[in-house]
A and B are shown apart, each in its own frame.
Chain A
Amino acid sequence: MSKLEVRHLSVHYAGRAGRTTHALADVNLALDPGDFVVALGASGCGKTTLLSCIAGFMDYSSGDIVLDGKRVAGPGAERGVVFQKHALMPWLNVVDNVEFGLRMRGVPRDERRRVALDKLRLVGLEKFATYPVWQLSGGMQQRVGLARALASDPEVMLMDEPLGALDALTREQIQELILHLWWQTRKMFFFITHSVEEALFLATELVVMSPSPGRIAHRYKLDFGKRFIECRDARKVKADPEFIKLREDVLHLIHASAPEQDAA
């Protein structure tokens, strides 16, 4: 059974004039298939650094990142990434974007087209397969980004604030879509956000990070995502008194850990 483990991960950036920044200190995480881990924290708490290390975009100073018993070194197709800015290729249409990774790995045309259309159906965009991506709205572009990451059938989905640039209504729609995708695929999901409500709604495990040095300060085991899958009513889940109480608790934690952010 596949498993993603982050053990004693530390990152020191080489800064200017010989100074180093301690971006991450002794971070530990373990994900099994079906786990949805959300990292929450104010800017500068190292959550994007953590994701970049897992994705293989960035090297780390000490510790280990192990997927299926193999140490992570560099990016790979078994770890799909969804970016804050969708990072689609505007010279390709929607379906060509989704099958880009398969094409790079030499999958035959018919096979990759079949997979790409299947993933587009999952995100509800099968009617837009031949559209240029730059004609789509921000929310639709991010759906294409999700379909593209899923097309490679990764074991882990890494999402770096994928909904940060969307308006509130679109954002809630895509949160629900992500929960559906998670429930259907049973993959490991690692998701970064600075929205407390989003984090509580999606996570099976919420890690609250605090800055300088970036570290995990608190962990919560949650099941609001599962409740949504059962009742299909996001408003009901988010209006639950338990949800509201946790939201206030976590907000309090974040404000307490980052007092200097208030002044900015």
Chain B
Amino acid sequence: MNAPEPIVDKAPPAATPARTVSGYSIPGQGSSTVISIVTVVALFVLWWVATHYGWIRDIFLPMPEKILKAFADAWRGDIQGGKPLPEHFWASLWRVFAAFLLAVVTAIPAGIAMGVSRIARGILDPPIEFYRPLPPLAYLPLIVIWFGIDETAKIVLIFLACFAPLAMSARAGVRSVMIEQINAAYSMGASKWQVIWHVIVPGAMPEIFTGMRIAIGFGWTTLVAAEMVAATEGLGQMVLNASNFLRTDVVIMGIIVIGVVAYLFDLLMRYVERLVVPWKGKAS
């Protein structure tokens, strides 16, 4: 018996314009950018119409152009308190970055120690797990009693807010390192400390970056809240002070500035993340 001959398909006829198709999608698939833009524009139009036709009183919601004017006034310092907006902004930014950097240099080593050492985990786990779920404003009064009402108390408060998520993410990062990578390093003659420094620490970096994004967001939230309790400058204080004088336009402007800054923080962290851990989500 002869072996079966392969059957050769003839080339298809010259192509007619093809109907492009996409796969059947799972719920929620596809881009939502256009819908989001339309939503934002619609909200602005609604705001403009509602204020210009007097549906809402000025004291509750000023016209959009008044917010812009409030921004210009605040920039020059032409608001209650007399401090220009950049001063408030730098005061807040300095506090949050000082505390964040302090947390980075302490919480990441602490979290890595918790990941690689039974003893460090035993010591650090109870205090961190106790204070982590507390709202920072709940222990602010205690911090004020201990550190006074000035800058130190605020920085300590933000530091504590950043510390827990950073330590937790560093610890989880240590756990995420593949055992094969660690064994590979050992079988190439690495010592235990070399494995920690050259395999576990870099392997934990993707998780640590997630923790840094969470921490700086959490720190910013806490800062603005702290400034509303006790401060003479800062974006939170500016908003609170304006509300005491029913300057709704300054309040809304301040909220927008705080939100934009928070968004810029996240963009910055994502940018640094792409530079430092480009393999995130790509390596197996």
B189, A76: Cβ atoms under 8 Å? yes
Number of A-B contacts (CB under 8 A): 77
- 1/0 contact trace for A86-97 toward B, CB 8 Å? 011111000000
Contacts of A243 in B (CB 8 A): none
A87, B190: Cβ atoms under 8 Å? no
Contacts of A152 in B (CB 8 A): 188-189
User: Contact partner of B198 among A83, A104, A105, CB < 8 A?
Assistant: A104
> Which of these binds chain A: B56-64, B99-107, B175-183, B260-268?
B175-183
Chain A, interface residues (CB within 8 Å), range = 20 to 34
Q: How far is the CB of B197 from chain A (nearest CB, A)?
A: 10
B178, A91: Cβ atoms under 8 Å? no
Taken together as a complex, chains A and B put the C-alpha atoms of A134 and B200 apart, in Å, by 18
A148, B188: Cβ atoms under 8 Å? yes
- Interface residues in A69-84 by Cβ distance below 8 A to B read 74-77, 79-81, 83-84
Contacts of B194 in A (CB 8 A): 104
User: Contact partner of A133 among B184, B185, B189, B283, CB < 8 A?
Assistant: B283
Contacts of A87 in B (CB 8 A): 178, 180-181, 183-184
Name the CB-closest residue of A to B284: A85
Interface of A is mostly: loop
Name the CB-closest residue of A to B277: A91
Contacts of B278 in A (CB 8 A): 132, 134
Taken together as a complex, chains A and B put the C-alpha atoms of A77 and B20 apart, in Å, by 56
Does A164 count as interface, using CB distance less than 8 angstroms? no
Q: How far is the CB of A145 from chain B (nearest CB, A)?
A: 8
Interface of B is mostly: helix
Does B33 count as interface, using CB distance less than 8 angstroms? no
User: Contact partner of A85 among B178, B188, B189, B205, CB < 8 A?
Assistant: B178
Does B199 count as interface, using CB distance less than 8 angstroms? yes
Contacts of A50 in B (CB 8 A): none
User: Contact partner of B185 among A74, A84, A104, A132, CB < 8 A?
Assistant: A104
Taken together as a complex, chains A and B put the C-alpha atoms of A21 and B181 apart, in Å, by 27
B205, A91: Cβ atoms under 8 Å? yes
Does B202 count as interface, using CB distance less than 8 angstroms? yes
B187, A75: Cβ atoms under 8 Å? yes
Does A100 count as interface, using CB distance less than 8 angstroms? yes
Does B282 count as interface, using CB distance less than 8 angstroms? yes
Contacts of B198 in A (CB 8 A): 89, 100, 104
Name the CB-closest residue of B to A138: B284
B184, A83: Cβ atoms under 8 Å? yes
A132, B180: Cβ atoms under 8 Å? no
- Interface residues in A210-233 by Cβ distance below 8 A to B read none
Does B186 count as interface, using CB distance less than 8 angstroms? yes
Q: Contacts A90-B283, A91-B279, A104-B198 given; indicate if A56 touches B187 (C-beta within 8 A).
A: yes
Contacts of A148 in B (CB 8 A): 184, 188
Contacts of B191 in A (CB 8 A): 104
- 1/0 contact trace for B107-125 toward A, CB 8 Å? 0000000000000000000
Contacts of B178 in A (CB 8 A): 85, 87
Taken together as a complex, chains A and B put the C-alpha atoms of A104 and B205 apart, in Å, by 20
- 1/0 contact trace for B186-226 toward A, CB 8 Å? 11111100100011001101000000000000000000000
B187, A132: Cβ atoms under 8 Å? no
Does A120 count as interface, using CB distance less than 8 angstroms? no
Taken together as a complex, chains A and B put the C-alpha atoms of A105 and B189 apart, in Å, by 7
Taken together as a complex, chains A and B put the C-alpha atoms of A84 and B278 apart, in Å, by 24
Contacts of B203 in A (CB 8 A): 89, 91
Q: Contacts A91-B205, A91-B277, A134-B283 given; indicate if A85 touches B180 (C-beta within 8 A).
A: yes
B186, A75: Cβ atoms under 8 Å? yes
B187, A80: Cβ atoms under 8 Å? yes
- Interface residues in A154-185 by Cβ distance below 8 A to B read none
Does A39 count as interface, using CB distance less than 8 angstroms? no
Q: How far is the CB of B120 from chain A (nearest CB, A)?
A: 24
Q: How far is the CB of A70 from chain B (nearest CB, A)?
A: 15
A81, B279: Cβ atoms under 8 Å? no
User: Contact partner of B187 among A76, A88, A90, A91, CB < 8 A?
Assistant: A76
Does A55 count as interface, using CB distance less than 8 angstroms? yes
The winner among A89, A91, A133 for most chain B CB atoms within 10 A is A91
A101, B183: Cβ atoms under 8 Å? no
Contacts of B279 in A (CB 8 A): 90-91, 132-134
Closest 9 CB pairs of A and B: A101-B188, A87-B180, A77-B189, A90-B279, A90-B283, A75-B186, A104-B190, A75-B187, A91-B202
**Contacts beyond the supplied A56-B187, A74-B186, A85-B180: 18 A-B pairs with Cβ under 8 Å:** A57-B186, A57-B187, A76-B189, A79-B187, A87-B178, A87-B180, A87-B183, A88-B283, A89-B199, A90-B279, A100-B185, A101-B190, A104-B191, A104-B194, A105-B188, A132-B278, A134-B282, A152-B189
29 interchain pairs (CB within 8 A)?
A56-B186, A56-B187, A57-B183, A57-B186, A57-B187, A75-B183, A77-B188, A79-B187, A80-B187, A83-B183, A84-B180, A85-B180, A87-B178, A87-B181, A87-B183, A89-B198, A90-B279, A90-B282, A90-B283, A91-B205, A91-B279, A100-B198, A104-B189, A104-B190, A105-B188, A132-B278, A132-B279, A134-B278, A148-B188
